Structure 1
Amino acid sequence: MSVNWIVLILGGLFETGFAISLGKAQQTSGKEMWGWLVAFIICVSISMYLLFKAMGGEKAIPVGTAYAVWGAIGAVGTVIAGILMFKEPVTFWRLFFLSTLIISVIGLQVFGSNA
């Protein structure tokens, strides 16, 4: 696994972080809300920067693949965090479509370009 893939995975995790921060900001008020909004700004900045870095350099990941993987990591992480932290429902269809997202991103990598 190249450094760019590690950078991309970290960027996707920070994407999850910015989504969680927004959810927490909506549940709070005052100084706590502002703390979560600052966390959002930090996470979104780091996430975008890491996505940018993963698409450059010697072993650059193509933009389409990078964005799909980054988005999928963020989506999967956010759904899992929503279930664990926000008590969102766990339904068959929710898990089914989350699984198809993961399978689709893997398919892009396996059958796409040699990134």
Structure 2
Amino acid sequence: MTHPDPQTRPDDVTVELPRTPAERVRSGFWRELSGALAVGLSGLALVVLVLQVIAWTRGVPGPGIGVVLGHFAAAGAALVAQRFADRRRGPEAALAVVVVAIATGVAIWFFWWA
């Protein structure tokens, strides 16, 4: 039987074993919540875009290009901050989590409640 990569022999392969429950590192409730907010805001931006496209095809005003761009800007900021939060620890990660919450709050406030 031949190995899929001719440069690598089977004895050169390193296998990482799964961690035991005691070794698993949890990211924490707030970081997980901010991740859910960032993903939710991204999904909301896509929904608003689809609604605008449907509105254009039917000849009605729809949410408007400003609202669509605002949703994508807020989602982009939240995703960048979440990526930063996922890769840092301590106060830097906490600040990034707060940025995700602020981006979500601003988008909801200005585009849905105000």
The question of a shared fold, defined as TM-score above 0.5 by the shorter chain, is answered with no
- TM-score norm. by structure 2 comes to 0.40
Q: Determine which structure has the larger helix proportion and give its number.
A: 1
Q: Which one has a bigger Cα radius of gyration? A: 2
- TM-score norm. by structure 1 comes to 0.40
Question: Which structure carries more relative contact order (alpha carbon 8 Å, separation 6+)?
Answer: 1
